[in-house]
Amino acid sequence: MTHKLNGGIPNWGYTHWWKMFNPRQLLVHTQLLKSITEASEEAWPLDVMEQALGAFQQYLRNQNMFIFWNPQRDTPEPMFSNANYHPKMSVIENCIFHNFGRGNMLSSSSKCLDGIIWTKEPWELIVIDGGNTKSEKGYPQDPVIPGNEPYCGSSTDLSMLGSKKFDLVITDPPFGNNLFYADLSDFFYVWLRIPLRKWYEGLPEAKYFEPERTPHSMEAIDNKVEHPDDREDFEKATFIEAKHLTKIRELSSDNSLEEKDPNPFHRPEPSSDFYCQTLSACWAESGRLLKDGGIMAFTFHHNEDQAWIDILKALFDAGYVLVATYPIRSDETKGETGAFGSRKIEYDIIHV
């Protein structure tokens, strides 16, 4: 999608990942990555080096040729401030080791420390009653318990969990054609796979970082580049239109067909259909592991009717019964000036 649709970012000269950085940035980034990758494992445990790599990932987001100045906030805005590849006319950068400023190595690495502290003493934002609209931190005193096992793969196959049954499944499905997750992830992946392949050599996790790109083939999104629309015009309508009646009669050898009858040659749009079927397969697999009477809950938002049709069809095809919905305020919105996708949407809906 990034590369092919309407010419994509190659129209701006970004034909390779390395062209997203100027020579000075490339020099700094490669020296940083080399220092992290070749750090002594005797001095630095693997989990510490992984945290350093996480800081490096955040630093990449703040030091590339897609950074611009936000005059309203008087600060730089990082890559993916909007979730797309958006070339800028004026690009800025700051010093890697400076004590001040957004996106330098110090501020990027502090996020890792903040995250570790949060796992031990987590907090959530709450609004205090009494007319005060400002949120405050609430401390539920339920630290993250070590030992849960993350897996990397398609959730159309949860065989690694065995036959154990679960009470609850909580998932956050992809939002149709709003975000192209793998395309965006590749920006980081092409850097991170270099040390991770080295560190995980001989371990099962190494296989995740062998490919040059993140997995795209089973990505549950509505992507017209991966699944182009190859339908003829007469295959697009659910019901027969007058302009296609003669052709459909000829192809079906059925002269009794009339305008507005169900179209025997109707095919759904391939990218939309793939999204719906793949999502249904994911939910059916999680349903296989739910106890009788178990609950599956997810949140969804979109500004196009077809995405809602796809997601509800996927839900029912997977064998679920929708028992409750709860509209909630979602991400910050920009109203009518919203540029795309989630920026136009004020409410999510939690489905149970």
User: Is the pLDDT confidence value at 340 over 50?
Assistant: no
pLDDT digits (tens, 9 = 90+) for 9-28: 888 888 888 999 999 999 99
Co-location of 56 and 191 in the same domain: yes
Residue 68: φ, ψ to 5°? -135, 170
State the number of CA atoms in the 13 A half-sphere of 242 facing the CB.
0
pLDDT at position 262 is: 95
In a domain? residue 215:
no
Co-location of 143 and 154 in the same domain: no
pTM: 0.82
Co-location of 109 and 169 in the same domain: no
Q: Which domain holds residue 245?
A: 232-266
User: Is the pLDDT confidence value at 255 over 80?
Assistant: yes
User: Is the pLDDT confidence value at 318 over 70?
Assistant: yes
Task: Look at the block and give the residue holding tokens 């001989």.
Answer: 202
Identify the CATH number of the domain in which residue 157 sits: 3.40.50.150
In a domain? residue 198:
yes
Which pLDDT band, with edges at 50, 70 and 90, does 173 fall under?
confident
CA distance 170 to 56: 30
CA distance 133 to 124: 15
- Which residue type, as a one-letter code, is found at position 285? E
List the single range of 1-15, 49-63, 72-86, 165-179 with lowest mean pLDDT: 1-15
Co-location of 143 and 282 in the same domain: no
In a domain? residue 216:
no
List the single range of 132-141, 320-329, 332-341 with lowest mean pLDDT: 332-341
Co-location of 306 and 259 in the same domain: no
Co-location of 65 and 203 in the same domain: yes
